[in-house]
Amino acid sequence: MSGKGKQPRVKGNLKPTSSSRAADLLGGDMSAINAFKANPALAFSQLSRPTGASPSASQASTPSPGPSKTSTPSTAAASIDQIDGKLASQIKRLGKNDSTTKIRALFELKSYANEHTWETGLEGMMLAWPPLFKRHIFDPDRRVRVAVAGVHAALVKRCGKRLAPNLKLLIGAWVASYFDPHRDVGKASRLAFELVFPESKRTEAYAYCIRDILDFATDNIVNQTADSLSDARFADPEEMRSKYEHVVGASFGALALAIEEVPTARLMGEQTSFGELLGRKEAMAFVGDRSSTFIRRSVYRLVRIVMLKCPELVGEAYGTMAQALL
């Protein structure tokens, strides 16, 4: 006779974790909480695989950059319950403020990614990862960023095609991290993309996600500030300013790379949004920002690439651009 309080067995000896518990483990990170609790289907609403079409997690197969059958909210909620105790513990540690604890947590997360399959834990890890990656890949400590890039590379390689539902959630920060001031971070991020996408698929992947890259970069360039990107309780003003310059400069870099890689016809489908960004005084003001060589160089690179490849993207923003550049 079974007792009423007996917990159901879970495949792979995973410990079921509710969505609210998962949110608590993320240390109050609202973007992560939104992914787990407020809208658990979000990570699966963009690009989910067809049922039964994916290989095992150990195969680094190429995720299709095109749309496919989406999962239901109940499927997404079920995925939340695949976060086991070990994974939840490391996610919680990653929310601490000291770099040493973060690096140790990231080391454990990398080991977790290498040791598990989709069925025994990577499904839950992939659901958790996009907001964590976006937050920590721009950490002021380069050692943390190197470790984050290592976890990301291990995870996406192991997930292969199962990365597809989360590609759009990751792509903005992923491409921006190519332009990290620390070479090892950018190299690891580029290598991760190349491991997942063979050369014949990369242009297609960038083209499919161009809107997401544009939205990510626009938000950072136009809306974010040093105060909004950091917590003043745990960072000094110099550290906050450095992170802001890093995020903004890398966002300009991501836009420039996307314009280089994506076919002109697809770019023109976003002409209005590109023109609006390039015509914003907030964006072009960085041209004259003498306090950050990194940002200014990134802006000039973007303008050069736009004018050489697809000047039509500028639209009615020529006046604003010309005034900023002169």
Tokens, residue 236: 């000094």
Give me the amino acid identity at 66.
G
Distance, in Å, from the CA atom of 316 to the CA atom of 276, rounded to the nearest integer, reads 8
| Least reliable range by pLDDT among 34-48, 107-121, 293-307 | 34-48
Mean pLDDT of 87-113: 94
Share of the chain above pLDDT 70, in %: 73
Give me the amino acid identity at 235.
A
Return the higher-pLDDT residue of 17 and 164: 164
Distances (CA, A) of 22 to 11, 27, 41, 296: 19, 9, 15, 40
pTM of the model: 0.77
* DSSP type of residue 214: H
Instruction: Specify the pLDDT at position 290.
Output: 73
* DSSP type of residue 120: I
Instruction: Specify the pLDDT at position 268.
Output: 94
Instruction: Specify the pLDDT at position 11.
Output: 42
Instruction: Specify the pLDDT at position 315.
Output: 75
Mean pLDDT of 151-173: 95
Distances (CA, A) of 194 to 28, 155, 297: 33, 14, 26
Distance, in Å, from the CA atom of 241 to the CA atom of 249, rounded to the nearest integer, reads 12
Instruction: Specify the pLDDT at position 35.
Output: 45
Instruction: Specify the pLDDT at position 78.
Output: 36
Instruction: Specify the pLDDT at position 279.
Output: 85
Neighbours of 82 (CB within 10 A): 25
Distance, in Å, from the CA atom of 230 to the CA atom of 236, rounded to the nearest integer, reads 9
Instruction: Specify the pLDDT at position 65.
Output: 64
Instruction: Specify the pLDDT at position 263.
Output: 95
Q: Which of 14, 250, 257 is nearest to 138 (CA)?
A: 250
Instruction: Specify the pLDDT at position 84.
Output: 81
Instruction: Specify the pLDDT at position 60.
Output: 42
Tokens, residue 157: 């390689």
What is the separation, in whole angstroms, between the first and last Cα of the chain?
83
Q: Which long-range contacts (CB under 8 A, 24 or more apart) does 264-270 make?
A: 264/309, 264/310, 266/207, 266/210, 267/210, 267/310, 267/313, 268/310, 268/312, 268/313, 270/210, 270/211, 270/214
Convert the pLDDT of each residue in 179-223 to its tens digit: 999 999 999 999 999 999 999 999 999 999 999 999 999 999 999
- pLDDT band of residue 284 (cuts 50, 70, 90) is confident
Mean pLDDT of 287-314: 88
Tokens, residue 266: 């697809």
CB 182 within 8 A of CB 146: yes
Mean pLDDT of 12-41: 42
Give me the amino acid identity at 212.
D
| Least reliable range by pLDDT among 12-16, 72-76, 210-214, 305-309 | 72-76
Mean pLDDT of 238-249: 95
Q: Which of 133, 138, 148 is nearest to 102 (CA)?
A: 148
Above 70 in pLDDT, residue 4?
no
Share of the chain above pLDDT 90, in %: 57
Helix (H) or strand (E) holding 108: helix 99-115
Convert the pLDDT of each residue in 105-161 to its tens digit: 999 999 999 999 999 999 999 999 999 999 999 999 999 999 999 999 999 999 998
Instruction: Specify the pLDDT at position 68.
Output: 42
Distance, in Å, from the CA atom of 292 to the CA atom of 181, rounded to the nearest integer, reads 12
Instruction: Specify the pLDDT at position 140.
Output: 94
